[in-house]
Structure 1
Amino acid sequence: MNTKAIIEGLLFLSGEEGLSIEQLSDAIQMDAGSFIETLKEEYRNPDKGFELVEFANRYKFITKEFVYPYAKNIFEEVKAPSLSPAALETLAIIAYKQPITRVEIEEIRGVNCEMMLKKLQLRNLIEAKDRKDVIGKPLLYTVTDEFLDTFQLESLKELPELKQKDFEDSELFEEIQ
């Protein structure tokens, strides 16, 4: 049995979702860690068109950057939907302050954000994970693994440190802090 090839095949089959070490270890019934490291090293080779990466504790194959100009010749260029400034602001507040309720987000932003929260949930960037133990039991929002993957973060600890000069409104800075 070629365990490394099996892991390689499983990762290929998992596509954008990727697989965790635990999932791979369960599948092959042994620790997959050393196989993953070997594969990561093999795919760092500049002769390979893709590489093995880890985002949000999940491993997956991605195409190397040098392939993209050639891919444009084959595939129609599809513009990925971008996030509006309001969506990015809401997402940043959630990422830095999570878990956080809708009302707390609205207090920071100063505007209603109910529709924005729904849009971010539909894009699977945030989720209502729990309820706050207060009257009314409002939903608590957190970012998802998809958020980490989208912004290529291993964890929220990689978010940049907030600095006062990044904010025109010092009250907004104080609220996010």
Structure 2
Amino acid sequence: MNLNDPAQLAVLLEAYLLAAGRPLSLERLGELFDEAERPPPARLRDALAILARSCQGRAFELKEVASGYRLQVRERFAPWVGRLWEERPQRYSRALLETLALIAYRQPISRGEIEEVRGVAVSSNIVKTLQERDWIRVVGYREVPGRPALFATTRAFLDDFNLKNLDELPPLAVLRSLEPAPGILDEEELQPSGPQALAEPAEQVSFRSLLAELDSMEQGLKTDFDDLPEPEGEDPGDAGRERAADES
């Protein structure tokens, strides 16, 4: 195989990506070659461009996400491909999605700040679910009494939502069209937060009003996580996994 030929190199990269089954960064792809034959990054990009064009008209595409490049089934085939798995896709509550949206658009943010915007308590199960999905992580602590944890999204969040960086998040104006029908409250929304919890019923929070408040925060979104501080007392295992994700 002539690795100096981008067309032949594209075929080899296709094999790498199919075998990996996960995103591979440009650096990781380069590491898969012996040093003497390693293509320069520019040639790798040329080969990836050829591979992307070769996917046109096929059921799969080459997609660049936060962790690198991956081959994936095109979204329009999801209704049919999903039949391969008997288990139904997990559905998430509006409260969970609102919490995730707040973290994505206003990170880093504390649980108390999320509750202040939503007007209701954030269920511990919501935070646990988002962390178990590896969509959010603790990136530091607010220097105020109690030192509340600060949450931010992860590379896995970007990968799972087909995003290269946070700049690719849809504008908040677009998300307003996704407001659910009025009159539907999640169980978590029936738990008011703060001193009012003992005296006043919870006020319904509409997705439209939530996104309207977030609209002023749309500018200046973070596009990487390199400058986020590591939380004190972080589990060494978590730190190791983060480093492994970065290296890949």
Task: Give the TM bin, normalised by the shorter chain.
Answer: 0.7 to 0.9
Which residue matches 1:161?
A: 171
Query: Is the alpha carbon distance of 1:123 and 1:169 closer, same or farther for their aligned partners in structure 2, counting shifts above 3 Å?
Result: closer
Counterpart of 2:28 in structure 1 is 23
Structure 2 residue identity aligned to 1:19: L
State how far apart, in whole Å, the 2-side matches of 1:118 and 1:51 are.
Answer: 33
Name the structure 1 match of 2:54.
42
User: Percent identity over the alignment?
Assistant: 36
Give 1:107's match in structure 2, choosing from 97, 111, 116. 116
CA shift for structure 1 position 154:
2.5
SS at match of 1:18: coil
| From 13, 17, 25, the counterpart of 1:11 | 17
Match of 1:140 in 2: 150
Structure 2 counterpart of 1:97: 106
Summarize the Cα distance change of 1:173–1:7 in structure 2 as closer, same or farther, 3 Å threshold.
Answer: closer
Q: Give the partner amino acid of 2:129.
A: K
Partner of 2:161: 151
Listed as ranges, the gaps of 5+ residues in structure 2 are 4-8, 180-205, 217-248
Say whether 1:64 aligns with 2:74: yes
TM-score, scaled to structure 1: 0.80
Cα deviation for residue 57 of structure 1 reads: 4.8
Closer, same or farther in 2 for the Cα pair 1:10/1:134, shift >3 Å?
Answer: farther
| Structure 1 unmatched ranges of 5 or more | none
How far is the alpha carbon of 1:111 from its aligned partner? Answer: 2.2
Q: CA offsets per residue over residues 78-111 of structure 1, 9 Å max, x none?
A: 3210211000000011011001111111111222
Q: Kindly provide the amino acid, as one letter, of the partner of residue 37 in structure 1.
A: A
What is the deviation of 1:120?
0.7
1:120-155 Cα shifts (integer Å, max 9, x gaps): 111111111222333433221111222223322222
Cα 1:175–1:51 change in 2 (3 A) is closer
Aligned length, in residue pairs:
172
With over 3 angstroms needed to count, the CA separation of the structure-2 counterparts of 1:21 and 1:111, relative to structure 1, is same
Distance across 2 between alignment mates of 1:95 and 1:112: 18
SS at match of 1:60: strand
Three-state SS of the structure 2 residue aligned to 1:140 is strand
Tell me if structure 1 keeps the 8 A contact 2:134–2:156: yes
CA offset at residue 50 of structure 1?
A: 2.1
1:156, distance to aligned residue in structure 2 (A): 1.7
